[in-house]
Amino acid sequence: MDAVLSYIPLDITLIAENFDRFLYGVWTTLVLTFLALLVGGLFAIPMAIARASKHWLLNPIIWSFTYVFRGSPLLVQTYLIYFGLGQFEAVRESWLWDPILSSAWWCAFIAFSLNTAAYTTELLRGSIVDTPSGEVEAAIALGHSYYKRLRRVVLPSAFRRMIPAYSNEVIFMLHGSVIASTITLQDILGVGRWLNGRYYLAYEGFITAALLYFLIVLCITQLFRLLERRYLPHLRERDTTTDSAPLPGSIR
Amino acid sequence: MIDAPALQVNDLYKSFGDNAVIKGVSMDASRGDVISILGASGSGKSTFLRCLNLLETPDSGDVFLAGEKMAMKRNRRGHQVPVDIRQVEKMRSRMAMVFQGFNLWSHMTVLDNVLEGPIYVQNVAKAEAKEKAYAMLERVGLSDRAKYYPAHLSGGQQQRVAIARALVMEPDVMLFDEPTSALDPELVGEVLEVMSNLAKEGRTMLVVTHEIAFARDVSTKTVFLHQGEICEEGPPDEILKSPKTEQLTTFLSRLS
């Protein structure tokens, strides 16, 4: 075993000894990323609807929001919230300071959520606007009300069509979450940085971190492959070899 | 109002900006009437049909469905708007429309397309709706395609599904907006056959079409629109064989 390890120019034992830290880093990264995606995604739905429907009041407000959060780097947004808000006495004395705005985790979480909400809003807005107008007309002609139309035709269709593009947003968010490590959080990269700082060994920490991100991205892409198979069967070529067999995928 | 016509349209006007598309069209359809609406492109025939279920809002004019008036009022800018959108939605569900481009919901299976109206508009119980949906698909000869997605069907099959989707609503009037114009020539027949069968059953239908043969053989009345006005109307035998106006003569000669 030692003979094998001696060929590898990395200090494997050091990584192994600290692997529980890395696993905790994985946990931190995953929780932060996916909670932000969940919350940001939920906020994005009504905002995208308001944008797509060109609501006279909400549309310009939401447009400004998405413009600001897509127009500046996530790192800057995180710093503004984490370092910036604490400058104000009023913020430090408000009920929001403890336990929320004084905590690095919460600041990262808020910045990430707002950022992904902005991107997802625009993604979903585009998808809603691209709904084939004939399909919307068919829903109108059927007697659907505006909200039923949204719920039964426009949104199900828009969500499905945005699945492939949304996988990018998920991966970008995962990679963007390394910003958490710059405000003291021990996410995957945070542990790598800690290892580097403590032992002056760059590769051990950073290669491990890279491999862990790689693994998570692999899981994400597989998950989206499953989602596409499940929800986009109508975009697939029909399997002509088994003509008589019904296609899977009917919800009912 | 038991004897009210299935559909009555009084003096309908519609313009897009400065472009007057419908200039005072009136029409009566008794129960069982099959009215074919002919006209060159730009004559306003599709717009007329779309004004009936308010896919386009007419500038003025009244639409009655089985004696019930679609209540409209003027808003502050003088545009005509529905008094009660719920009433409009109800009336829309009673005049099912079949589109040129089929317009099936692409993310739903054939069965789900047909089930949408009964379950989510008419609130029919799921089991009953399913039974009805299969019966309608059987009628258009596609019950074996129930689990397919529209993209995996031919144009003719998609249009037949669209007809089943309209039929399952048990509408008072069926509106067909150039139902065969987007089809390959060899697929037109199967759709026209389904429509002929519906006509024989005594369904009330308004059909905007370029199929002169269908107008002649199936419809009970033919209306020829020219530049937003009814130029000629009557039994198809009469007006198609011996057109009185120059416009219809020209139109027919161009088609043959």
User: Which site among B92, B100, B105 would you substitute to test the A interface, given the most A Cβ atoms closer than 10 Å to its Cβ?
Assistant: B105
Q: Is residue A195 classed as helix, strand or coil in its secondary structure?
A: helix
Q: Give the pLDDT band (50/70/90) at residue B256.
A: low
Q: Which of these, B18, B26, B102, lies nearest to B61 by C-alpha position?
A: B26
pLDDT tens digits, one per residue of A63-104 = 999 999 999 999 999 999 999 988 888 888 888 887 888 899
At residue A71's C-alpha, the angle toward residues A41 and A65, to 5°, is 50
Q: How far apart are CA A104 and CA A185, in angstroms?
A: 7
**Whether B216 contacts B236, CB under 8 Å:** yes
Confidence at residue A246, expressed as pLDDT on a 0 to 100 scale = 46
Considering only the beta carbons, identify the residue of A140, A143, A250 that sits closest to B55: A140
Q: Give the pLDDT band (50/70/90) at residue B2.
A: low
Q: How far apart are CA A37 and CA A117, in angstroms?
A: 8
Q: How far apart are CA B186 and CA A226, in angstroms?
A: 38
Runs of H (alpha helix) within A18-102: 19-52, 58-71, 74-79, 89-93
CB contact under 8 A, B121 and A144: yes
Q: Which of these, A82, A109, A79, A111, lies nearest to A97 by C-alpha position?
A: A82
> What is the value of pTM for the model shown?
0.89
Considering only the beta carbons, identify the residue of B55, B112, B149 that sits closest to A247: B149
Q: Which of these, A1, A136, A183, lies nearest to B55 by C-alpha position?
A: A136
Which of A2-11, B2-11, B22-31 has the largest mean confidence? Answer: B22-31
Q: Is residue A129 classed as helix, strand or coil in its secondary structure?
A: helix
Q: How far apart are CA B236 and CA A132, in angstroms?
A: 36
CB contact under 8 A, B92 and A139: no
Q: Which of these, B13, B20, B96, B103, lies nearest to B59 by C-alpha position?
A: B13
Residue in chain B nearest A149 by alpha carbon: B120
> Locate tokens 């033919």: which residue?
B222
CB contact under 8 A, A252 and B85: no
Residue in chain A nearest B86 by alpha carbon: A145
List all residues of chain A from 115 to 144 with a beta carbon under 8 Å from chain B: 132, 134-135, 137-144
Q: How many residues does chain B have?
A: 256
CB contact under 8 A, A249 and B89: no
Gap from A151 CA to chain B (nearest CA, Å): 11
Paired tokens of B54: 């308010």
pLDDT above 50 for A249:
no
pLDDT mean over B18-45: 94
Domain A2-232: give its CATH architecture.
Orthogonal Bundle (1.10)
Going from N- to C-terminal start, the domains of chain A cover: 2-232
Q: How far apart are CA A197 and CA A70, in angstroms?
A: 33
A240: DSSP letter: G
Q: How far apart are CA A66 and CA A176, in angstroms?
A: 17
pLDDT tens digits, one per residue of B69-105 = 999 999 998 889 999 999 999 999 999 999 999 999 9
